[in-house]
Chain A
Amino acid sequence: MKEYQVIGKPVPLIASREKATGKAKYTDDIRLNGALHIKILRSPHACADIRAIDASGALKAAGVRAVITGRDFNHTFGVLPISKDEPALARDTVRYVGEPVAAVAADTEAQAGEAARRIRVEYEAHDPCLDPRAALLDTDRPIHPELGRGNNLHKSARQEFGDPARGFGEAAAVVEGTFDFQPLTHGFTEPHATQVEIDAQGSITVYSSTQVPHYLHRALAEVLEIPMHRIRVIKPHLGGGFGGKSDPFPHEMIAAKLALITGRNTRLSLTREEVFSSNHGRHPTTIDMKLGLHPEKGITALSTDVLIDGGSYGSFGVVTTYYNGVLLHGPYPAPNFSFACDRVYTNKPMCGAMRGHGGVNPRFASEVLFDMACAKAGLDPCEARLKFIHEPDTVTANGFRITSVGLKEGLRKAMERSAWKEKFGKLPYGKGIGVACGFFISGSALPIHWNKMPQSTVRLTIDFDGGVTVYSGASDIGQGSDTMLAQNVAEVLGVPMSMIRVIAADTGLCPIDLGSYSSRVTFMAGNAARNAAIRMRRILVSAACKLLEIGEPRYGKPGGPDSFFRQGGRKPDFDDPYLGPNPDYSDGFEARELTFRPSAGPREGAGVPYLDAVRKAMDGHGALQTQGIYVSPKMGGDFKGAGAGLSPGYSFTAFISEVTVDPGTGFVRVDKVTGAHDCGFPLNPLSVEGQLDGSIHMGLGQALMEAIRYDPKLGVVQNASFLEYKMLSPFEQPEIDVGYDANVDNEGPFGAKEVGEGALAPVIPSVANAIHDAVGVRLRSLPMTPDRVLAAIEAGAAVTPRNENGKGGM
């Protein structure tokens, strides 16, 4: 394998020192001149009509500069153009407890809070619809009457491939079950915050903790009814997103509106409770799934019927609806496949995208069923998975293009390291080992707003000082994307990381990028940065040739993969504005340690210092500037929903978890997770490990304890704090041994694929399968809390005969 200089090396994130020392400025740390403080008045009802709002008391209160209500907005918004159903402030009805109803801007935070309390809202409360099953029934008070439906259905998706009935007929083992999932919050550290700076021309700069500056920019223009060019969105340092900051939010519209009305700068920060009531977390879900397995053919049929509870608004819900089905087309082929998913509206805070978006819950169901089928068919769960994982360069039943797959070797090694063969089915009662696999997209191939723009554009400049500036619209949300961009550029240009400055997530300065979601940034923005750097390299190499008085390298169409699986039939072309994904840029020069050296020819080994090349290139030309783009190859079928889940690359994961179950109390301790993640070539092992540890931590939270609890009658969140909403403490984090051997993906930048999301899902079923190995019970509801485990053991003890280890059958 090629020896790189910065790629593949553990590089500390470029902002880590600033963050660790407290210097980094997050949105709330910004101090704008004389900013007004905003307080949002929220609904105490889950379902009510607003009869009247009397803000006179608030307007008379000390320090108050403006009060706004739903009447001040003419447009609703939403991240998806197909469900722009959310108002900045509720107009005639409120749809969940905590929905913004009015907002006050005042000189101090205390004044804003005091004034908000003086707003009188007259509500006519109605019985809320809180149960997703009830939401499917006819009602004369639908939550979104504008859809013209007599019930609360939001979105239905149906797909079928092959012949499921025949497939089940061919199976050696058919298993099925109903699986139940709770609502979850992302649990990021930094609550949402927004500050708005307004200039004398009435143009606004919106600082916001967002994963999607671009979508926020668009939504602001629409909701505020001002031209897009009068808006600039900047994402300062961000304290975690996980999908919880990937929509435009009401508070962002409110802060901007109040700045426009008052002509003053404005600021607001949500409390943790407000974050809970804004939600956008994982959908509560019920899945009925059936799986047929054959010892030689693999999954002969898979059918699934899903109901997801979307809460009050659309958010990413249409995508979630599809992802609940389409992400089951890996990690194993399922030629006969049927899927139905309904998303309903209920009077709860809306659900949206959360790490592993839409793929986590169905993965739990399918991997538990796969385990059950193995037990029934007498197959070793690891061996069976090994056998049926997708082969590279294949197409799934629904038209996903599966390119690189590096999981088999990884799983094999994980089996050895965990001593799977010696342990599975052989540990004493209470101890167990279980396996599960998963796969995930590296970015969505289709844009949310239909257009032919590249998914990602990155601009590079080099000026007289030799410093390289990378301009990218991608949002570093703590995951390290700025560092990733800098690494790509540093590697191509042969300059140290310290000479690279990344200016990102500023819609006024940076070229368009769609944002940080669907694990797209490394694959797409990384490729764009790499391409911009290759173009820059050509300029510098050309200058170096002049200084060395040799001819310039001839750039033709470099050799490259030309099959359907590589780049959708396109070859990289150095004369084209688009170089293609991950093009080979060998130009006969070696660029390292700030020197360009020809690696052959008459001046072989002669060095041109980087700065000399820069100056030469600038002669008669000025500052150097290049641009790189990423465009997804064309792919996918031609049927409804064919675009959902299409990605230029897929990551693959396998986890083997070992647990100890206390049969007296039902407590489950996860002792160790061994596994493998195929993220292609690991650009930065430090980041890869951070993401894997984090995915396991977050996945185990869902597995063992996390759930938002709503009051069953009122719909108010009962545990809106990190004391009562239980995420894993460091004590519950297991020992981790996950390999990520380099498996080069031809299209990812330097061979990389995603690592941020895919690894979350499979850890959950691996624990469920390990619990089964330990005490012989199958858990189908998350979280697998001690009370549920104990109840299952007690029920299981009554019906399941035990084998010699005291363990149950299927």
Chain B
Amino acid sequence: MQLLQVLIGGISQGCIYGLIALGFVLIYKATEAVNFAQGELMMLGAFCGLGFSTALGLPYWAVLPCSVLAMGIFGFLTEALVLRPILGQPAFALIMVTIGVGYVARGLITMIPGIGTETHVFEAPFHDEVITLGPLVIGMEQAVIIGASFLLCGGLFALFRYTRVGVAMQAISQNQLAAYYMGIPVKRLNSLVWAISAGMAAVAGVLLAPVTFVHANMGFIGLKAFPAAVIGGFESLPGAIVGGLIIGIVEALAGFYLPEGFKDVAPYVVVLAMLMIRPHGLFGTSMRKRV
């Protein structure tokens, strides 16, 4: 039973990794750039949430959509103003720019006097509630993380499968030139992909904030979401979620059964093992477009 308890903790942490990993994958599929600022987007999202709730006094449930919207706009503009001008440069340049965006984001936050360098408590209204299932006790915060992640993934799946814009985003990632030929507004949709990724990072940030507090360095969690994306194959949306769950669960188990310190190494051990067994990741395909 204790094992189950640990597993649930791992799953809820894994959902957070999964949400951030989804952001990595979305942007990679659309623009072939790895966005190393994804963790920082989450951090900004959490600070957004903090601002909405303390400065504006909004309730937690209103903070979530407001932060998503704010970060969505931020993501859209970042793509349009910072990344698009260097499109067509080697992928290396794009990656450097995203790293730069991450540093700037962290720097700007720490420059806010009195707020940026502090660690903030961001309490959810349900923070000491629990769900009791027989002998199992699940913290409401964890339950909300798991529930919200699943809803979000469902929404994302529906977007890509059933909407015109979603199918067009897939089309762009499969054959960008052909998408131009079809008159699909490739640039605008790429900005939209950034907006979605940033919005998801905001969800992750606002959900995680009650658990870990809000501080300028919380974006480093991106370093663990990255292996999650790699495990999933880096091109697969379900893969990102599964990868996130695997990392979360492995971490929780390592923290519980193994000596201190192993917890932080475990995700990378898993990635290395995975890359040796399946170089394309769990859900990755080696199928390329036909010649």
- A joins B in a complex: no
